[in-house]
Each structure stands twice: as structure tokens, then as C-alpha cells.
């Protein structure tokens, strides 16, 4: 199997893998099982599958749709989708490299352009996933604050509460934010955002560019992507990324104070999916929002 054949017949990829006709090398893949595939013509691909069959319904279709949508903006590099099957996703291989300030500056400018490509509404036309959890992408043209509170905070607050990942006062703090969210958010038209842009989903390539991977792409607020880049230790050269972004597309006044609000969604996803180890981070973000 070479790349031309695979493009024409992506449905045959699982059969070739089953019969060991393609060389496979395990690589890191987060919640999924990931492999580097080497085809007969020497082409490498990145392939991911769910650890057990079948994969959650629509998970890989959502990722493929998000990758194609971000790639269509023609700004930040995004791997090409080669094969999108219910239980397997194969993408263009990106050789990893080292973070650099020139790459960070180029990424900041390109991210602004990707965001400027916009969206028809908050949400997306496809059902979403974020990590191992469903993501409500029901399109909505209401204000960003109402949409963010209803579609991005409340579902994961409820799931975190059901799983015992948060204390009662943590839950009350986030509920207070949701009730008064219109007072915190800066309203903007929907931007074309990655939606899960923590540092691990920015791949620094050997080609000297930073690539977007593993999206939960949708129409959202551009400040959300910028805020999540600062989570979990922060992306390398974050100051350079933000500086270049703001030169390309300035942010509204008060954006720094809104960082914890935008981070709260992804932190709640973590308490919902992975448990109470992220409870303190949720509470710290909520307290910072309530102080503004």
C-alpha cells in the first residue's frame, strides 16, 4: 500500500494493518492508541485508534471535520486527514522538532488569521468530542457568554459533580459564574478556534513551524485558545506567541483578567474525565473569575 492507493481506498487500511502489511511503530497518543505507519513508498502517517473496539461513536469523524475546517483557513499548519474511519484516523505525519521564538512568532500571527476565518455560529455543524467526552456543538447565535455557560461550563460541571470530583463549594462557585457570566465575557463574533489548545496539542515540527493537532474545533471566542495555551505549565515562548498574535489582531481591553474564565472550561473537562486531581485548579480559576 502506498499513499496514492490509500487516498483512493482508505477503507482498506484496517485490513492491511490486520495482516501486518504496513510497518507500525508505537508513539504517544494521549487517550488513544497511536502509531507511526510506514507505507511501501516510504511515506509516514500518524494513526490513532481507541484502545478498545468500537471507538466512541463519531469521535474520529469529529476530529477529522475539525482538522479539515482549521486547515481550510490556510494559516496555522494542520495535518492533512488521509483516512477517517469509524475506528481509525490516519493523518499526515509531522516530524517533531524543537520550539523556537521564530516559530512561536509565526504561530501567533497565523493563529490570529485562523481565528479571523470565523464561523457561522458558536458551536459547529458536527457533533463534537473533547478528549474522551462528548462536546455539545449545537450551533447557537446567542451571545457568547450565554452559549459558553450553557454549552461549555454547565455540562462538565454536572459531570464533575456526579463523579464526586468537586466539593459542594466548588460547584457553587462555578454555578455563580454561570449565573452572572454576561458580566465577565467580552462579546465578539464567533472565531474559528481549536477548542482544546493546551500546550500538548501544539506540535513543534522539525520544519520550524508549530502545528495544530487533536482539536475540538468549533466557533468560539478567540481568547479561549489563547488562555488554554497557558495551562499546565504553558506553551514554550508564550510571551512571543501572544505578542505576535496581538500585533496581527489586537485583543479587547481586560483580556488578561478573562484568562481564568476561558480556562475554566478545559479544567472542568479534566475533573469530569480524570477526577479530583484537577479540583484545586478548577477552584483557583473560579475564585480568580469571581474576584474580577
The total of structural domains in the chain comes to: 2
Residue 190: C-alpha distances to residues 66, 115, 135, 247 (Å)? 15, 9, 17, 20
**7 has a pLDDT exceeding 70:** yes
- Domain coverage including residue 24: 3-92
Task: Report which of residues 206 and 40 the model is more confident about.
Answer: 206
The CATH code of the domain that includes 37 is 3.30.200.20
Task: Report which of residues 18 and 163 the model is more confident about.
Answer: 163
Q: Dihedral of CA 42/49/211/217: which sign? A: positive
**74 has a pLDDT exceeding 80:** yes
Last residue in a domain, options 92, 109, 140: 92
**18 has a pLDDT exceeding 90:** no
pLDDT given for residue 8 in this prediction:
94
Residue 179's pLDDT band (boundaries 50, 70, 90)?
very high
> Is there a single domain that holds both residue 171 and residue 217?
yes
**246 has a pLDDT exceeding 90:** yes
| 116-152: pLDDT as tens digits | 999 999 999 999 999 999 999 999 988 899 999 999 9
Residues 6+ apart with CB under 8 A from 18: none
The CATH code of the domain that includes 136 is 3.90.1200.10
CB 102 within 8 A of CB 240: no
Last residue in a domain, options 32, 58, 92: 92
Prediction pTM value = 0.95
pLDDT given for residue 87 in this prediction:
93
Cα–Cα distance for residue pair 144/40, rounded to 1 Å: 48
Mean pLDDT value of segment 82-103: 96
> Is there a single domain that holds both residue 287 and residue 154?
yes
Residue 171 CB coordination number (10 Å)? 17
Q: Which residues pair with 122 in a beta bridge?
A: 140
Residue 41's pLDDT band (boundaries 50, 70, 90)?
very high
> Is there a single domain that holds both residue 78 and residue 158?
no
> Is there a single domain that holds both residue 80 and residue 133?
no
Mean pLDDT value of segment 233-238: 97
Percent of the chain with pLDDT over 90: 89
> Is there a single domain that holds both residue 63 and residue 115?
no
> Is there a single domain that holds both residue 128 and residue 231?
yes
pLDDT given for residue 185 in this prediction:
66
DSSP assignments along 73-129, one per residue: TSSS--PPEEEEETTEEEEE---B----HHHHHHHHHHHHHHHHT--SSBB-SS-EE
> Is there a single domain that holds both residue 68 and residue 124?
no
Q: How far apart are the first and last CA of the chain?
A: 57
| 213-228: pLDDT as tens digits | 999 999 999 999 999 9
pLDDT given for residue 67 in this prediction:
98
Last residue in a domain, options 70, 92, 114: 92
**281 has a pLDDT exceeding 70:** yes
> Is there a single domain that holds both residue 160 and residue 275?
yes
> Is there a single domain that holds both residue 257 and residue 144?
yes
Amino acid at each position: 500500500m502506498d499513499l496514492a492507493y490509500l487516498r483512493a481506498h482508505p477503507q482498506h487500511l484496517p485490513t492491511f494493518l490486520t495482516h501486518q502489511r504496513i510497518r507500525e511503530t508505537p508513539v504517544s497518543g494521549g487517550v488513544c492508541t497511536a502509531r507511526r505507519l510506514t507505507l511501501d513508498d516510504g511515506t509516514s502517517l500518524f494513526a490513532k485508534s481507541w484502545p478498545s473496539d468500537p471507538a466512541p461513536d463519531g469521535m474520529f469523524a469529529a476530529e477529522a471535520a475539525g482538522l479539515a475546517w482549521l486547515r481550510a483557513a490556510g494559516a496555522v499548519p494542520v495535518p492533512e486527514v488521509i483516512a477517517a474511519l469509524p475506528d481509525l484516523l490516519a493523518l499526515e505525519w509531522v516530524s517533531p522538532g524543537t520550539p523556537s521564538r521564530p516559530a512561536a512568532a509565526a504561530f501567533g500571527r497565523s493563529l490570529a488569521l485562523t481565528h479571523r476565518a470565523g464561523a457561522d455560529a458558536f458551536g459547529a455543524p458536527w457533533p463534537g468530542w473533547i478528549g474522551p467526552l462528548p462536546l455539545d456543538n449545537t450551533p447557537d447565535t446567542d451571545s457568547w457568554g450565554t452559549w459558553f455557560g450553557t454549552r461549555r461550563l454547565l455540562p462538565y460541571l454536572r459531570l464533575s459533580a456526579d463523579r464526586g470530583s468537586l466539593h459542594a463549594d466548588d460547584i457553587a462557585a462555578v454555578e455563580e459564574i454561570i449565573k452572572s457570566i454576561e458580566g465577565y465575557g467580552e462579546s465578539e463574533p464567533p472565531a474559528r478556534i481549536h477548542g482544546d489548545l493546551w500546550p500538548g496539542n501544539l506540535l513543534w515540527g522539525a520544519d520550524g513551524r508549530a502545528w495544530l493537532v487533536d482539536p475540538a474545533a468549533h466557533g468560539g471566542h478567540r481568547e479561549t485558545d489563547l488562555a488554554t495555551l497557558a495551562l499546565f505549565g504553558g506553551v514554550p515562548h508564550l510571551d512571543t506567541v501572544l505578542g505576535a498574535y496581538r500585533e496581527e489582531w489586537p485583543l479587547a481591553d481586560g483580556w488578561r483578567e478573562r484568562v481564568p474564565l476561558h480556562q475554566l472550561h478545559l479544567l472542568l473537562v479534566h475533573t469530569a474525565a480524570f477526577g479530583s486531581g484537577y479540583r484545586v485548579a478548577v477552584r483557583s480559576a473560579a475564585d480568580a473569575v469571581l474576584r474580577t
